[in-house]
Chain A
Amino acid sequence: MTLSDDYLKYPNRGHGMDHDRYSWSQLHERPAITWPNGARVALWVVTQLQWFPMDMKPAVPVPGGMARPYPDYWDYTLRDYGNRIGVYRIFKVLDKLGIRASVAMNSALAEMYPYLVEQVNQRGYELIANGLDMGHPHHGDMDEAKEAALIKGVLDSLRGLSGQPVRGWLSPIRSESMNTPDLVAAQGIDYLCDWANDDMPYPFQTTSGAIHNMPHTMELDDQQILIALRHTEQEYVGQLKDQFHCLYEEAGERGGRIMAINLNPWITGQAYRIKALEEVLSYISGHDGVWSATGAEILDAFTAQTKP
């Protein structure tokens, strides 16, 4: 076969990005941000509460999904361990260290285990929408009307069950269609957590106006490090400390930074791993100038300084 000459045409080859979602901007050139009480680093812990249905047939591969033939009790029950056991180990560590957190939750899980929503509310944690369930990742071939209905259903459900405004959106496996940002913004979402291209929030354009993308971590996600890359718990601890060290130093020169830590209770909430998490969070909390906050609090502090 021959390659069409169109393959050598580059319609978006111009200054800035090759799409209109956000502006080209280098981190080091932006004005310094200050956090409350002059903190150097905002610590943003996000715990994911997710449901992997046993009959899931996702349109794109979902790490952590049912990897074995039906009925796959292996994968189902090990993920469910997180919602029964692991999450309470994580909450206990957060309680002990006085750390505020955000919780990203599938709406189907909130409906199945409303006790978890009560626990989130009791602690004053922020609820972030994490889609319907892990069997329904958004993707590029998704029908727009169906996606709009799904997103509305997710947000109606989470807002109804929690009484919270639910301002943040994390797509299952961070996967989006071309329309996802427009559809969540139309339902009143203020920030996305999917894009892994920055260490700070930045404005993100939608058909309902500008929202923001928050630097929810992909590189330091426990599933990425411990499962995908198969690092040891000691290596996990080392990477999080290295990350904090760099951000803490940089904040002294270039303004406030954000240290995001993303946790899956079925991973970090295992008995043999929880002390590794406690070690990291104790290390970070032991520094002066660390502000533990939710995603919405960090975003509000940020936009109060950047809104024209």
Chain B
Amino acid sequence: MNLFEPFQFAFFRNGIIVAVLAGAICGLIGVYVVLRQMSYIGHGLSHSIFGGAAASAVLSVNFYLGAGLWGLLSALMIGRVARRGKIGSDAAIGVITTASFAMGLALSNLFGQAKRSIDAVLFGSILGVGGTDVLAVLGAGVLSVVVIYACYRHLLFATFDPEVANVSGVNVARMEALLMLMLAITILFTMKVMGVLLISAMLVTPAATARMMTNSFARMLTIAPIIGALCGFTGMLVSYHIDVSPGATIILMASTVFLGVFTVTGSRGRRNVAGLGHH
């Protein structure tokens, strides 16, 4: 078996570029997702976007346009329902995003011809990745790096201590909106390879692994994208050779790395990762 045989195919070369970039972006944004306890929002947003992706496939509308608008609409609805105050934002996310996901499934059942592209959105695919997707993910990656570079101190302050950040002149609401926007863009532009059902794991696992390896925020921000990119690369290779959807193999790679680091770092790593989400 020639390990690098798939590189002769253009679709695979596109796919692996997207997977490496997607892994790195998910790792990068995942640091904020994990430390701000936004995992459930990421999970919900990806499910919500699935409804838009399914509708786009059925109506033959551009995937990024349809799914993106749908995601934006869902986020606005979540905000509106949560502001009513009767139910918490977690319940609002649960209601709206699962309704959107159910609509995607219904469309999938009703319109059989769209089933293949809907399956690809659910579980990830390397076959449908073209030059436009490479450019889109590259753009999302550049945007994420530029935003994090430009707003590094504000994002860090707003993430660690929002109340004091606000008093110290940081526009915390703007930083939160920026993070939500980056999260939505990351999900939208990487879900073709990762798949809706598994992308939230990629937003959490590399960042949680990096947390076990370091006590420095700056180093965590460097380690998590490297882990994500490596898992994207190896996961795609394994996906091709064993003919399993890339979302699954990439996440399995990330889970294996997590388990390895969890074992090697011992009680220190376990304490760090157990502390995520607990003050």
Q: Do A and B come from one complex?
A: no
